Amino acid sequence: MRRDLVRTTQLVILLLATWIPMRAEWQSVGSMSPSPLEGNQISFRNREGVITLTVLAPDLIRVRATRDTSPGPDYSYAVIKADWPPIHVEYAGTRQSGTLRTPELEVHVQLAPFRLGFYDRSGRLISKDADNLGMAWDGARPRCWKWMPADEHYFGLGEKGGPLDRRGRAFVMWNTDSYGWGDSTDPLYETIPFFIALREGRAHGLFFDNTYRSSFDLGVESPETYSFGAEGGELNYYFFYGPDPKKVLERYTELVGGMPMPARWALGYHQSRYSYYPESTVRFIADNFRQRRIPCDALFLDIDYMDGYRVFTWDKSRFPDPPKLLADLRRQGFRIVTNVDPGVKADPNYWVYQQGLAGDDFVKKPDGKLYIGKVWPGDCAFPDFTSPKVREWWGTLYKGLIQDGVAGFWNDMNEPALFAVPSKTMDLDTLFWDQGLKSPHAKIHNVYGMLMSAATQGGMLRQSPNERPLVITRATYAGGQRYSAVWTGDNSSTWDHLRISLPMIMGLGLSGLPLAGADIGGFAMSPSPELYTRWLEAGVFYPYCRTHTELGSRNQEPWSFGNRLEDINRRAIELRYRLLPYLYNAFHQAAQTGLPVMRALLLDYPDDANAAGQNYEFLLGDDLLVAPVVKSGEDTWGVYLPRGVWYDFWTDRRYTGPAGLHVDAPLDRIPLFVRGGAVVPTQQVVQYVDEAPINPLTLEIYPEGNSSRDYYEDDGLSFDYQRGAVLHRRFSAMQQPESTSLEVSAREGSYTPPARSLLLKVHNVRSAPRRVEVNGQTLELQAGGEDFEKAAGAWRYDETANLVLVKLADQAAALQVRIEK
């Protein structure tokens, strides 16, 4: 008994001894006094600092807290929007408290000690500072603690392993080269300090715009509070109110900028490995794709194409005539993407190094000497991408490769990653220009990769102003979607990694980065044939779709796993090409609104806990639900269908959700569902996107009451769409007792595609229609076969598939089709 008591007392002392000093380091914000409201902004001050609340929009408030009464320059690498429309804001208060009102939010301000609470206009509490600490500092380190309700869940934070719901875990943001990373490896390569909180079907968001090494604790330190903070800089965050999670994401995208519309070829299938060389190997890979009739749009050249890893050079023994090779490949329909790392070999005889020295473009140590670190080429110097002048210089370096015919660039190792140092990166005191502030690497590290991708994109645009560039980066920061696609670094060829990739890419989508993918088949090690096929079946639904693998692994092309799997793999890639018009529309929507292409179900079903808990199932665009098989040896698969009507893509079987079901999932089939009411635009299979124009444009119509969908198209390559060269129209389907009516609105916009047919495929029609009318005229019935293929206008009924097919010329004018029962 006594011994127990002693032990308990010892334990309590131990706990207090570790806990109290840890807590005591944090100095909470204390009391503050308000200054008068100035427009959309109000500040609170005390002797130690100032906190400013700025209302940018009715649902968006910035909180900027500095431990300095005269804050330094206000500059962000993420936020680009400055011209918010004026907004009516009110502040009313006493000496103890005040309330800041926007048309959608109320911020309750407690002055002593200073705490914030965010409420909706009906007085419902959304989020508030934790009572004990709120905002606090430990020397230069800011941190903020907030109330964490037991039923609140957190999504986003960019490239993170583990479940989509981040609750109960802690995360660090410090871009890190993480070869062979696992589910719980943290941090990884990218920093997106933005999350969406979801509770009782209602969402809000928080973006902590601080580029220093930062951390988020979502319930490890305490189950009742969460916190975020950084190793330096300001406590500078943005609070977004939904309650619709899509609205949070749209507003976030408005704040930091969205993804520009990618070129169509960027959405095709891409093939990579470390490394395809010499030239004969690249030609062999290209020829195999075409001979085997496996669609592919881009081949990647990894670092071995260079002369001793010197960026912007060719190894002329491996690639004696790049312009000829690339022109030949382009004739076969392949675009080439080459790897470009930031490290410039410190070789006095190398022109890039010479130019960088002459222009004073490299980062330096505090003593003024060049910072030198080791990467693939050995000793390297590193461009200071914070400087616009350096970004411009770096952009010019791509000219030669572009003139040789290189179509896209792959920026890698830009965390920046360094060999031979335990930190895997530059010394923290390395100096950067940073708006003339001369900031240390500690502040710039997390934006280095993003700024490199900005420099690359800028250079490409200057070289080819009317072509949409493809840049792919490994490291980035919030807002990086403005410049490049991302991939999730050096994953491994395991089932676990196939699984991890899904919530990870969904998480990137929820963090504003729609154009993302994982190395299909895995980078480290080699996949089993089954794993590669299952991975490819899922991967053709990644927004960015590329196979890649490491040096020395087994062949990882779609034909590398035997004839039977080659057929299945081909069909998986063909499915992506068939769906390209649909995918392109999902990308258009993402570019317009910031909504992801690969969507976590919570975005559409925030009030459905089952949907929000799905880690492996997702929506692609508005209407396809994809449930990849992510385990070995399965031939059926459990699927959760949220509320509404769903059709099995393969069998047309109709389901009504919410429902859990098991569906057939043999190795050649990924569970795939279409939302009732959908109109899914598809096209014929092509071997690369420019092989032939879309013809016919096929609309897969799944009538359900009255529904309609917008359709978008443009030339797929240039920026002419920004000058009106677009095609917009609306497809509608209406079910009536005696008929199904389809409407195609007149084309809007000045883009006119080459002449083609429009094939309307109406699903789930149980008996042959009596008559089909187009614009009031009876349409001819064709039995099918070649006659139907050739006919300019005809219809037929497929009684095995329960499909009505209506074929018409795709014209600019509106169309009305009536299918009589």
Catalytic residues: 412, 415, 490
The H or E element spanning position 788 is helix 785-790
CA torsion through residues 628, 634, 640, 644, sign: positive
Residue with tokens 């009031």: 776
Residue with tokens 């010394």: 427
Q: Which residue's CB is nearer to ligand GLC, number 297 or number 519?
A: 519
Closest distance between ligand GLC and the C-beta of residue 272, in Å? 8
Closest distance between ligand GLC and the C-beta of residue 668, in Å? 29
Q: Which residue's CB is nearer to ligand GLC, number 215 or number 456?
A: 456
The SS3 call for residue 67 is coil
Closest distance between ligand GLC and the C-beta of residue 520, in Å? 12
User: Can you tell me the distance from the alpha carbon of 426 to that of 236, in angstroms, rounded to the nearest whole number?
Assistant: 25
Q: Which residue's CB is nearer to ligand GLC, number 81 or number 424?
A: 424
Q: Are 415 and 189 in contact (CB under 8 A)?
A: yes
Helix ranges (DSSP H) in 94-151: none
Q: Which residue's CB is nearer to ligand GLC, number 137 or number 300?
A: 300
- Amino acid letter at 556? Q
Residues that bind ligand GLC (CB under 6 A): 179, 274, 302-303, 339, 412, 474, 489-490, 548
From residue 87, alpha-carbon distances to 238, 281, 439 in Å are 17, 61, 35
Residue partners of 623: CB distance under 8 A and separation at least 6? 582, 674, 675, 678, 680, 709
Both tokens of 7, joined, read 């032990």
Q: Are 805 and 742 in contact (CB under 8 A)?
A: no
From the CB of residue 460, how many other CB atoms can be counted at a distance below 10 Å?
A: 24
User: Can you tell me the distance from the alpha carbon of 194 to that of 245, in angstroms, rounded to the nearest whole number?
Assistant: 13
Q: Which residue's CB is nearer to ligand GLC, number 54 or number 560?
A: 560
Apex 479 CA angle, 301 and 416, nearest 5: 50
Q: Which residue is nearest to ligand GLC (CB)?
A: 274
Closest distance between ligand GLC and the C-beta of residue 275, in Å? 7
Q: Are 191 and 146 in contact (CB under 8 A)?
A: no
Helix ranges (DSSP H) in 548-669: 563-578, 580-593, 609-612
User: Can you tell me the distance from the alpha carbon of 456 to that of 454, in angstroms, rounded to the nearest whole number?
Assistant: 5
User: Can you tell me the distance from the alpha carbon of 38 to that of 451, in angstroms, rounded to the nearest whole number?
Assistant: 34
Q: Rounded to a whole number, what is the largest CA-CA distance in the chain? A: 98
Q: Which residue's CB is nearer to ligand GLC, number 551 or number 755?
A: 551
Closest distance between ligand GLC and the C-beta of residue 276, in Å? 11
The SS3 call for residue 148 is coil
Both tokens of 426, joined, read 């530059």
Q: Which residue's CB is nearer to ligand GLC, number 520 or number 815?
A: 520
Q: Which residue's CB is nearer to ligand GLC, number 339 or number 556?
A: 339
From the CB of residue 95, how many other CB atoms can be counted at a distance below 10 Å?
A: 9
Closest distance between ligand GLC and the C-beta of residue 494, in Å? 17
Q: Are 820 and 768 in contact (CB under 8 A)?
A: no
Look up residue 690 and give its DSSP letter: T
Look up residue 616 and give its DSSP letter: S
End-to-end CA separation in angstroms for the chain: 86
Closest distance between ligand GLC and the C-beta of residue 376, in Å? 7
Q: Which residue's CB is nearer to ligand GLC, number 179 or number 351?
A: 179
From residue 238, alpha-carbon distances to 60, 167, 257, 494, 535 in Å are 7, 20, 15, 38, 37
Residue partners of 16: CB distance under 8 A and separation at least 6? none
Closest distance between ligand GLC and the C-beta of residue 125, in Å? 44
> Among 342, 338, 591, 597, which residue's Cα sits nearest to residue 453?
342
Closest distance between ligand GLC and the C-beta of residue 549, in Å? 8
Q: Which residue's CB is nearer to ligand GLC, number 265 or number 410?
A: 410
User: Can you tell me the distance from the alpha carbon of 89 to that of 54, in angstroms, rounded to the nearest whole number?
Assistant: 10
Closest distance between ligand GLC and the C-beta of residue 550, in Å? 6
Look up residue 526 and give its DSSP letter: -
User: Can you tell me the distance from the alpha carbon of 781 to that of 213, in angstroms, rounded to the nearest whole number?
Assistant: 67
Closest distance between ligand GLC and the C-beta of residue 179, in Å? 6
Q: Which residue's CB is nearer to ligand GLC, number 548 or number 807?
A: 548
Burial of 738 (0-12, 13-18, 19+ CB in 10 A): exposed
Helix ranges (DSSP H) in 607-711: 609-612
| Residues forming beta bridges with residue 765, ordered by sequence position | none
User: Can you tell me the distance from the alpha carbon of 372 to that of 343, in angstroms, rounded to the nearest whole number?
Assistant: 9
Q: Which residue's CB is nearer to ligand GLC, number 339 or number 707?
A: 339
The H or E element spanning position 288 is helix 279-291
Q: Which residue's CB is nearer to ligand GLC, number 266 or number 744?
A: 266
Closest distance between ligand GLC and the C-beta of residue 488, in Å? 9
From residue 89, alpha-carbon distances to 64, 493, 778 in Å are 18, 54, 61
Q: Are 206 and 238 in contact (CB under 8 A)?
A: yes
Tell me the angle at which helices 529-539 and 563-578 cross, rounded to the nearest 10 degrees. Answer: 10
Closest distance between ligand GLC and the C-beta of residue 388, in Å? 27
